[in-house]
Chains A and B, each alone.
Chain A
């Protein structure tokens, strides 16, 4: 796998781009600064270097780095989900698994088609492929980075003990990670979640705020999921067009090299297509970053918000059950105090959940609107910029051809 060898070198990536796009006001609290400056790609595994700078006394050192794998992030996310105290909070969505499937498939196809291409064409396609690998790589690093930064910028999560271990523990975390049994437990949990969906859509909501949020989130989730997949397809088509320009450019080059008649403009045309494809490629990747990634991220975030609603619904169900139990106990005059205490607990839990839930959901909306605004503006500006440079290239070539 030659391309893998290229990526094996450590790539320096800054905390920019996606981080500031999908969620504003992350990582500006100097007491706890996290970033992922480097990452290594080994076969299928990506090893992230998590770098922390802190002024908090809870940590042993003011600055340190550890090496983490994707599974470590998932472990951290799941422990947060399972923590009772956090039931009333939106848990930042887990970063998706690094997916090199698409460029890998392309590389396979490229290998097969090598014989039918000129050397230059092959080199350019390989270049494109390497760029794509790099893009996927960058994206996965940034999405893991955002996850950590959302935790670090949250007043509650930043103090989480497991989070601290994740950042600090200088050994391999695999001991603490899920084993097979726990993974099965995770699967079971997903089944319960589906039951929850039925539960909350069935439960009558008294609180108007939550009622509205429920309707909105359920509908919005399905729409944004659809929009994400359509945006993905659109971006992929764009990349295909950019790739086609490579082939056209390469063949025009061979044509102009072999042609003895004065078709000098073929060479210029080949050059033009080569430049155009770079711009088109950038259009495709910018669109992916600003639009597709945005939608993808918020799709996961909305799922996290929905999870909050489920937990609240479950708490409500628990409270209602506790009420029924109390009534039964009163009837039987048995364990009334116990039942009453249980009922009180449930009520309290439900109230806390509702209160923090409301806060979380309101700030979530604000975050979402801001992120969309930022990305849509940036996308429009980039589209204009690229279209202008395309136009300049094209008009230049037309002038050149006309003047000959």
Chain B
């Protein structure tokens, strides 16, 4: 573990050095991503130099051990070492992200670079164990939606309460106020940090301009209340899924989101912001790339899984549509039952036979209670069953995205190989030509370039192996979680159906003597 931290630290510093000297080359190397992609790969170095100031002080130590460093760097880096990831994230929230890694790294920038505080190591292990095992004790609730402000600038503030025994948090119970764009901001950060290396980041709830506008404008009607409740529930599920992930829960952005009372506004989540437009451009570029990259899949597991997820996606969407229809019809049933109840009451009033009149009024009351029951059942249909399916449809999109990332990583690796080949060919040509003076300089340059590309090829291969490994682990975890999740929610849903039937029995059994009393 220590060695790995050591390696990753040195690796980062090397990369920084290369970055400082070779930014132009890095630009040329990026033929498969758009120039200003916010999504940093391990080779994109500008962000690193921009954000962190720690590694520079370590420059002095590098040169001697460069070869050793690379040799060791082919070892697997721990997937859960947090200090690597924060550095690589770009910063929609620049205020926070660099601080933590700098602090971590400055812990270790001592004369003895190898001196990693063992206490820190242990707590990482503990957290991972806690996260994976039964001691995973964290519960998040999103509650108390409150409207803040007026008119089109108004927004809903939600209270996010965390109850946990995990040691990565300062307290065992605490709450903060967050708005919807904060959640989107969190997701954006996590996605940019983790998706490209193969982690399945739970997607955030979707925006809804129509829904939100109604709330802003101040319509206090049923549909805007329902909208807020739907959103509140979705945000809660989103956070719970995020913290259940053993890696994500340790991310400083997540911890900060849950703990700190002030959070810088995530402006880049707005649809029409610069970052928003960038996202759209990137999405388009990705779609084009997906079509042009033809990967030689050497691993049957990935092919199988991709097919599996395609099928699952289709089926879940269909099921989701069926359940949505069910919700709609049940709501209709509730409305029609209420309408009938009123009509039956009128009929009872009109009836001149006393006992029958009373029975009809009782019937009206029963039907009124039943319409309430149907409405509650429709809510259960929606919030338990339908939303579960909707969440998983979105999650599977994230899974598919991660598979695509692997393809991209592969593609980058291939491109680096092509470049290396070109450089080697160029070198060979130079050797054949015979112009001594200019040649030496050119030869040196080419030699440097070849070394650089050799490094990139090796890095590309490493990245590819790494992402493949991560994806396998993530998919395994996802499948387990899915089975558990479905089981829990389905049982809850069935129990709601049971409750409805129990109530029906109660109501009709109360009515029966009334009907029998008609004489």
- Is A237 part of the binding interface, using a Cβ–Cβ cutoff of 8 Å? yes
User: Using a CB-CB cutoff of 8 Å, which residues 291-338 of chain B contact chain A?
Assistant: 308, 311-312, 315-316, 318-319, 322-323, 325-326, 329-330, 332-333, 336-337
- B518 CB–A CB distance under 8 Å: yes
B347 near A223 with CB under 8 A, answer yes
List of B residues within 8 angstroms of A212 by Cβ: 352
Partner of B322, one of A216, A224, A248, A397: A248
Interface size class of A (residues with CB under 8 A): 35 or more
Contacts of B332 in A (CB 8 A): 237, 240
Chain A residues, CB < 8 A from B342 = 230
Q: Are A233 and B487 in contact (CB under 8 A)?
A: no
A376 at the interface (CB under 8 A from B): yes
- Count how many chain B residues have C-beta atoms less than 8 Å from C-beta atoms of the other chain: 56
Q: Of all chain A residues, which has the CB nearest B316? A: A255
Residues of the A chain whose Cβ atoms lie less than 8 Å from the Cβ of B349? 223
Interface check B37, CB cutoff 8 A: no
Taken together as a complex, chains A and B put the C-alpha atoms of A238 and B331 apart, in Å, by 11
* Residue numbers in A under 8 Å from B308 (CB-CB): 260
Interface string of A203-242 (1 = CB under 8 A from B): 0000000001000100110011011001101101110110
Contacts A244-B322, A391-B505; A230 near B315 (Cβ below 8 A): no
B337 touches A234 (CB 8 A): yes
Across the interface, do B347 and A227 meet the contact criterion of CB distance under 8 Å? yes
Q: Is A244 in contact with B325, judged by CB distance below 8 angstroms?
A: yes
Pick the contact of B312 from A240, A252, A259, A365 — CB < 8 Å? A259
Nearest-Cβ distance from residue A78 to partner chain B, whole angstroms: 30
Residue of B whose beta carbon sits closest to that of A242:
B329
* Contact residues in A for B508 (Cβ distance below 8 Å): 380, 383-384, 387
Residue of A nearest to B318 (CB): A251
Stretch of A36-44, A137-145, A183-191, A261-269 at the chain-chain interface: A261-269
A254 within 8 Å of B (CB atoms) = yes
B contact residues around A395 at 8 Å (CB)? 498
Residues of B within 8 A of A383 (CB): 504, 508
Query: Among B104-112, B160-168, B271-279, B488-496, which stretch is in contact with chain A?
Result: B488-496
Chain A residues near B337 (CB-CB < 8 A): 234, 237
B490 to chain A, nearest CB (A): 6
B286 CB, nearest partner CB in chain A, Å? 28
Q: Is the CB of B329 within 8 A of A231?
A: no
Nearest Cβ in chain A — how far from B356, in angstroms?
5
Given contacts A394-B498, A401-B487, contact A244 B312 (CB under 8 A): no
Q: What is the CA–CA distance of A269 and B493 in the complex, to the nearest angstrom?
A: 11
Does residue B344 face the partner (Cβ distance < 8 Å to A)? yes
The answer for the CA separation of A226 and B316 in the assembled complex, in Å, is: 42
Cα A112 to Cα B312 in complex, Å, equals: 25
Residues of B within 8 A of A165 (CB): none
Q: Could you say which residues of chain A place their CB within 8 Å of the CB of B483?
A: 261-263
B480 smallest CB distance to A (angstroms): 9
Q: Which of A216, A272, A376 sits near B363, CB closer than 8 Å?
A: A376
Please state if A265 and B504 are interface contacts (CB–CB under 8 Å): no
Asked whether A230 lies within 8 Å of B336 as measured between CB atoms, the reply is yes
A376, B347: Cα distance in complex, Å: 14
Contact B333 A251, beta carbon cutoff 8 Å: no
**B333:A372 contact, CB within 8 angstroms:** no
What's the minimum C-beta distance from A375 to chain B, rounded to whole angstroms? Answer: 9
Stretch at the interface among B7-15, B228-236, B257-265, B509-517: B509-517
A383 to B363, CA, bound (A): 13
Residue interface mask B473-487, A partner, CB < 8 A = 1: 000000100110011
Question: Bound complex: CA of A260 vs CA of B518, how far in Å?
Answer: 59
CA distance A265 to B349 in the complex (A): 50
User: Is residue B353 within 8 Å, beta carbon to beta carbon, of the partner chain?
Assistant: yes
Contact between A380 and B512 (Cβ–Cβ < 8 Å)? yes
Q: Which of A216, A373, A384, A402 contacts B356 (CB 8 A)?
A: A373
B487 touches A237 (CB 8 A): no
Q: Which residues of B contact A398 (CB under 8 A)?
A: 491, 494-495, 498
> Within 8 Å of chain B (Cβ to Cβ): is A381?
yes
Check: B359 CB closer than 8 A to any chain A CB: yes
Within 8 A of B (CB), among A12-52: none
Point out the residues of chain B lying under 8 angstroms from A241, CB to CB: 326, 329-330, 333
Scan residues 387-404 of chain A and give those whose CB is less than 8 A from a CB of chain B.
387-388, 390-391, 394-395, 397-398, 401-402, 404
A residues in contact with B363, CB < 8 Å: 376
- For B498, the chain A residues whose CB sits under 8 A away are 391, 394-395, 398
Among residues of B, the one whose C-beta sits closest to the C-beta of A377 is B515
Which of A372, A381, A401 touches B359 (beta carbons < 8 Å)?
A372
Q: Residues of B contacting A368 with CB < 8 Å?
A: 353
- C-alpha spacing A387/B498, complex, angstroms: 9
The minimal Cβ–Cβ distance linking B284 to chain A, given in whole angstroms, is: 30
For the complex, give the distance between the alpha carbons of A231 and B355 in Å.
Answer: 22
For the complex, give the distance between the alpha carbons of A369 and B504 in Å: 25
Is B350 an interface residue, CB under 8 A from the partner? yes
Contacts A248-B326, A263-B486, A265-B490 known; A230 to B343 CB distance under 8 Å?
yes
B501 lies within 8 A of chain A by Cβ: yes
Q: Which of A240, A265, A272, A390 contacts B329 (CB 8 A)?
A: A240
Output the nearest chain A residue to B503 by Cβ-Cβ distance.
A387
A105 at interface, CB cutoff 8 A: no
**Cβ of A258 < 8 Å from any Cβ of B?**
yes
Cβ of B518 and Cβ of A390 under 8 Å apart? no
Q: Which of B308, B323, B340, B482: most chain A Cβ within 10 A?
A: B340
Nearest residue, chain A, Cβ from B349:
A223
The answer, among B323, B336, B355, for a CB contact under 8 Å with A233, is B336
Cβ contact of A369, chosen from B319, B329, B518, cutoff 8 A: B518
A244 with B494: CB separation less than 8 A: no
Interface positions, chain A 82-118, Cβ under 8 Å from B, are none
Q: Which residue of B lies closest to A237 (CB)?
A: B333
Verify if A247 is at the interface (C-beta below 8 Å from B).
yes
Known A-B contacts A240-B329, A388-B505, A391-B505; A227 and B344 likewise in contact (beta carbons under 8 Å)? yes
Question: Closest CB of chain A to B513's CB: distance in Å?
Answer: 9
Tell whether, in the assembled complex, residue B509 and residue A384 are in contact, meaning their CB atoms are under 8 Å apart.
yes
A401-B490 in contact given A226-B343, A234-B333, A255-B315 (Cβ < 8 Å): yes
A224 engages B347 (CB within 8 Å):
yes
- List chain B residues, Cβ under 8 A from A377: 512, 515-516
Interface presence of B153 (CB below 8 A): no
6 CB contacts below 8 A, A to B, read: A234-B340, A258-B315, A376-B359, A391-B501, A391-B505, A401-B487
Residues of A within 8 A of B (CB): 212, 216, 219-220, 223-224, 226-227, 230-231, 233-234, 236-238, 240-241, 244-245, 247-248, 251-252, 254-255, 258-263, 265-266, 269, 272, 276, 365, 368-369, 372-373, 376-377, 380-381, 383-384, 387-388, 390-391, 394-395, 397-398, 401-402, 404
- Given A231-B343, A384-B512, 12 further pairs, Cβ under 8 A: A212-B352, A223-B346, A227-B346, A233-B336, A258-B315, A262-B483, A368-B353, A369-B355, A369-B356, A376-B515, A387-B505, A398-B498
